[in-house]
Amino acid sequence: MAGKLTKEHMNLLEGMIGCGPKSFKLLYSITRDGCSAAEFHRKCDNQGPTVTVLLNPQGSVYGGYAGINWKSTGGFTMDDTAFIFQLVFSGIRVVNIFRPKDASKALYFGCNRSAWFGNPDFEPFLNTISVNKDGTFSLNGRLTLGTCYNSNNVSNDAIHNGSMVVTELEVYAVSADDTRTSTPKQTTWRKTPALNEEYISKIAEELASITPPRGSGITDFRLLLVGPVGAGKSSFINTVMSPFADRIINKAAVGTSSQNVTRKYITYPVRKTGGSCLNFRLCDTPGIGDHSGMDAVNINFLLDGHVHSSFEFSYSRHISAKTPGFVHRPSLAEEAHCVGIVLDSSTIHDLPAVTMTLLNELKNLALEKEVKAVVDQVSEALGIPPNHVFPVKNYHSEMETEVAVHGLVLIALRKMLFIALDALEERTSANEEGQEANADVTESDTA
């Protein structure tokens, strides 16, 4: 039986544990082995470091890491390497690690207890739990961070959705594995330049020199970013700004909530270290979700330039010509010149059908107006060429800038600017030809 822990989850846990690549061997599963403390200890005791992972019906993934052997007796036990973690909340990637503040009570060993962390900060279940008719398990444990583990100001409900009902609980043995690497090289599927300081400087200069075509009447490209709630649009904007400022930028508000942090349509100019602006703006939008107001009607107005900067969307009403601030005759400069769809690679498998439908509608609207497996999947799902799909990493927990992060995001940005440039040149050329044709007709009529 294969476990539910994905490669993405393993990579995240590997980074939290530290000390290099790890292998994860499934020891225990409540759907396979039954939800019993006795069975937990029979399969998991004396197996070395382990990860206990819980998955619930809301799509959240969380658990705990023990750096020493589980045992059936012994009471509170010291483990300064233990931690509680969060990987996904309600289907959205939300990564948190909660370290002990009292490592002397990091773990508890008892024959009628499952994996017990703290006093207890996290205890999945005790004794035996029967399976529900729908295949779930109503665990009799609890999650109450803050006693022996730091809560990081994250509420318990924001980790387990306020419920201990789970679809699965698994325990994996964790061991060093030099054959497994958490970040496979991308050069095996797409030719990528060496991401070093020299290349970053070169591509940054190239992007700074790109200007809108002459005769277009615009001073900067408008690059519109859309995507599901929590996909990382605002983080992408901050990441794009960072190479030009030589520091990590945090202008666009980001968060880990399952609800929108971005409520408004906001355009961000990108500035160089000296303060001068480049010739493009990054346009942030609310995430596509149940209560964001980002539906096909409102997005259509947004693409056409009818929506002013700082406009706040409402899910209860559509934009119309009567909406305050509605731009009735938008200029070419106010339209979206390129649309970037931002997706979280770890949740692309789980996007709701309604979200995928809207993203495809958006793609069609935009076309009317002008990591390999994941890239292929996004390409197939949205019907766009693979060379229009760019994996990037946003700044999240880093304190300093990183060359690799800069390189990937600048390559994606360059593609967006070239697409915008091509579209505007075509529009400008068509307008000029139309004006010449009108002039010819007028001259002929007066001859």
Domain assignments of the chain as residue spans, ordered by start: 7-176, 192-437
Going residue by residue through the chain (447 aa), what tens digit of pLDDT does each one get?
678 999 999 999 998 998 888 999 999 999 999 999 999 999 999 999 999 999 999 999 999 999 999 999 999 999 999 999 999 999 988 899 999 999 999 999 999 999 999 999 999 999 999 999 999 999 999 999 999 999 988 999 999 999 999 999 999 999 987 666 544 444 445 666 677 788 888 888 898 889 988 888 889 999 988 888 877 888 888 888 888 888 888 887 765 444 556 678 889 999 888 778 999 999 998 888 756 677 778 888 888 999 888 888 877 777 888 888 899 999 999 998 888 888 876 666 666 776 777 777 776 666 665 455 555 655 665 566 666 666 666 665 565 667 767 777 788 888 888 888 887 887 777 666 666 666 655 544 443
- Asked whether the beta carbons of 167 and 56 are under 8 A apart, the reply is yes
Residue with tokens 């009471």: 75
Residues 385-394: contacts with CB under 8 Å, at least 24 apart:
388/415, 390/415, 391/186, 391/345, 392/236, 392/239, 393/239, 394/232, 394/235, 394/236, 394/238, 394/239
Helix (H) or strand (E) holding 142: strand 142-143
Report how far apart, in Å, the C-alpha atoms of 377 and of each of 31, 125, 445 are: 29, 38, 57
Between 296-304 and 353-368, two packed helices, what is the crossing angle to 10 degrees? Answer: 30
Q: Which token pair is 445? A: 């009529």
ω into 120 cis (within 30 of 0): yes
Strand segments (E) across 288-389? 311-312, 338-341
The CATH class of 192-437 is alpha beta
CA 155 to chain CA centroid, Å, is 21
pLDDT at 183: 47
pLDDT at 381: 57
- Amino acid found at 56: N
pLDDT at 192: 66
Tell me how crowded residue 362 is: count the other CB atoms within 10 A of its CB.
23
pLDDT at 355: 72
- Amino acid found at 387: N
pLDDT at 290: 59
